[in-house]
Amino acid sequence: MGDLDRLNSKLAKLKGKDDGQIRASATDSIVSALLTEIEETILPREMILTNESGNRFVLVVAGRRLLALSGHGAEEEGSEGREDAAARIIAVFRGPFRTFLDNAREISIDAARPPNRIDPTMIGCSVETLTAALVGPGQASVADPVAAACDLAVAGLRLVGGDVVGRSGDAAHLARLEQFAGVGGAGLGQLAGDDTDAPCCVFLSDAGREDAILARIAFRGAAALILAPPEARAELIALCREPIPAAG
Amino acid sequence: MLCSDSDLPAPPQEALDALCLRGARLLSGPVWAAAEVALAAPVVEAVALQGGRIEVFLRTPAAPDEALCGVLEDSADLEAALNVLWSGIDAILPEDTARTADATRRGP
């Protein structure tokens, strides 16, 4: 199975008719797959994404960079007051292209050599820049999900190697957290899994999740032990799903 | 102890044992007890996201010796899955336990 077949298979899985299954964040997964594909593409390629209605978005990729992104709504979004090529591409990616992916019930991808010669002055946008931009303002700390988790908490302890290196939040909740850390913190750490290079998290809650949830988010040797509002759980989980830039 | 969807490849027994152990440690023992103090409420739900999957462990007060475990892809809609699992937990309890749970809900 070639790279394109694998990507198509993944897209079909993410966007296919999964009536019997529960899925969300499909767009995030597709974006992640596309960024990986761009990162692995050296020679010029034109990738065409088509939805179930036949609407298309075209990505021109070369040298591990996204050189151009066109499709419905891209012209308006990508031209307004933006002279920088990367800024135009990011605007289209975050706007009409994201909407296209969100709304599609089915997505397929085709790829071929671009019909026209690539202008060598086209610099486009690197995957690194694109990834950083897609995280968005206000979520810049997603590269550090531990810090981001503390930001979402009512109270939080930042741990490194089992030692508390930072505290945030109100005193009453912090006291409860410190008490937990002393008794069950190490045990929860052993259950939550710290030995991967991807963020991991564990949540404990009561039946109604009426007051708060207890959570531990760990990444690259650091961890956040937090009490958070129940409604923050989706955002906390998203922190662990986001692609994280490589270390170093 | 554990059962799995027969349409899926059967996980190795040691993986099922590890899953079972993780659920037991999250919903009983010192971590669980300390979490109940921290939350000032009975802890009946544990969710772990790691290694590209979500593990869900549920425990109903009506059947404290039982727990329900679900393993989801990490792209799954967790809240929707939890609603399904919570609504279904009584259905898989043994009949006598289910009767007890029902009586508990109705009260004396």
Any domain includes B7: no
Residues 38-97 of B with CB under 8 A from A: 38-52, 54, 61, 72, 74-81, 84
Given a cut of 50, whether residue A185 has pLDDT beyond it is: yes
Write down the pLDDT at residue A79: 56
Domains of chain A with bracketed CATH: 3-135 (no CATH), 142-241 (3.40.1840.10)
Q: How far is B86 from chain A (nearest CA, A)?
A: 9
Residues A210-226 have a mean pLDDT of 87
The answer to whether the CB of A14 falls within 8 A of the CB of A24 is no
- Tell me which chain A residue has its CA closest to the CA of residue B35: A180
Q: Name the average pLDDT for chain A.
A: 79
| Structural domain for B50, as ranges | 13-106
User: How is A103-139 classified by DSSP, letter by letter?
Assistant: H-S-EEEEEE--SSPPPTT---EEHHHHHHHHH-TT-
Task: Give the one of A25, A198, A213 whose C-beta lies nearest to B75's C-beta.
Answer: A25
Any domain includes B101: yes
- Tally of domains within chain B: 1
**How far is B1 from B16, CA to CA, in rounded Å?**
9
Write down the pLDDT at residue A193: 67
Residues A136-143 have a mean pLDDT of 48
Phi and psi at A211, nearest 5°, equal -105, -65
**How far is A59 from A79, CA to CA, in rounded Å?**
17
Would you call B99 helix, strand, or coil by DSSP?
A: helix
- Which pLDDT band holds residue A140 (cuts at 50, 70, 90)? very low
Look up residue B63 and give its two tokens: 């059947």
Q: How far is B24 from chain A (nearest CA, A)?
A: 11
User: How is B46-90 classified by DSSP, letter by letter?
Assistant: EEEEETTEEEEEE--TTSTT--EEEEEETTS-HHHHHHHHHHHHH
Given a cut of 90, whether residue A226 has pLDDT beyond it is: yes
Q: Residue A184: list chain B partners with CB under 8 A.
A: 30-35
Best mutation target among A10, A22, A31 (most B Cβ atoms within 10 Å) is A22
Distance from first CA to last CA of chain A, Å, rounded?
Answer: 33
Any domain includes B94: yes
Task: Give the one of B34, B45, B46 whose C-beta lies nearest to A183's C-beta.
Answer: B34
Residues 2-21 of B with CB under 8 A from A: none
**How far is A189 from A196, CA to CA, in rounded Å?**
13
Q: How far is B95 from chain A (nearest CA, A)?
A: 22
Q: Model ipTM? A: 0.81
For A144-182, the pLDDT digits (tens) are 788 888 888 999 998 887 788 888 888 999 999 999 988
- Tell me which chain B residue has its CA closest to the CA of residue A177: B38
Task: Give the one of A184, A209, A234 whose C-beta lies nearest to B31's C-beta.
Answer: A184
Q: How far is A82 from chain B (nearest CA, A)?
A: 34
Given a cut of 80, whether residue B38 has pLDDT beyond it is: yes
Q: Higher pLDDT residue, A237 or A135? A: A237
Flag whether residue B34 sits within 8 Å of chain A, measured between CB atoms. Answer: yes
Any domain includes B44: yes
**How far is A237 from A202, CA to CA, in rounded Å?**
9
Write down the pLDDT at residue B19: 87
A45-51 vs A107-112, strand pairing mode: antiparallel
Residues, chain B, total?
Answer: 108
Task: Give the one of B22, B46, B52 whose C-beta lies nearest to A204's C-beta.
Answer: B46
Any domain includes B28: yes
Any domain includes B69: yes
What is the sign, positive or negative, of the torsion defined by CA atoms of A178, A182, A186, A188? negative
Residues B58-63 have a mean pLDDT of 83
The answer to whether the CB of B55 falls within 8 A of the CB of B19 is yes
Task: Give the one of B22, B39, B81 whose C-beta lies nearest to A191's C-beta.
Answer: B22
- Which pLDDT band holds residue B96 (cuts at 50, 70, 90)? low
Any domain includes B49: yes
Give the CA radius of gyration of chain B. Answer: 15
Write down the pLDDT at residue B94: 58
Q: How far is B66 from chain A (nearest CA, A)?
A: 15
Look up residue A204 and give its two tokens: 């404990």
Any domain includes B26: yes
Count CB neighbours of A10 within 10 A: 18
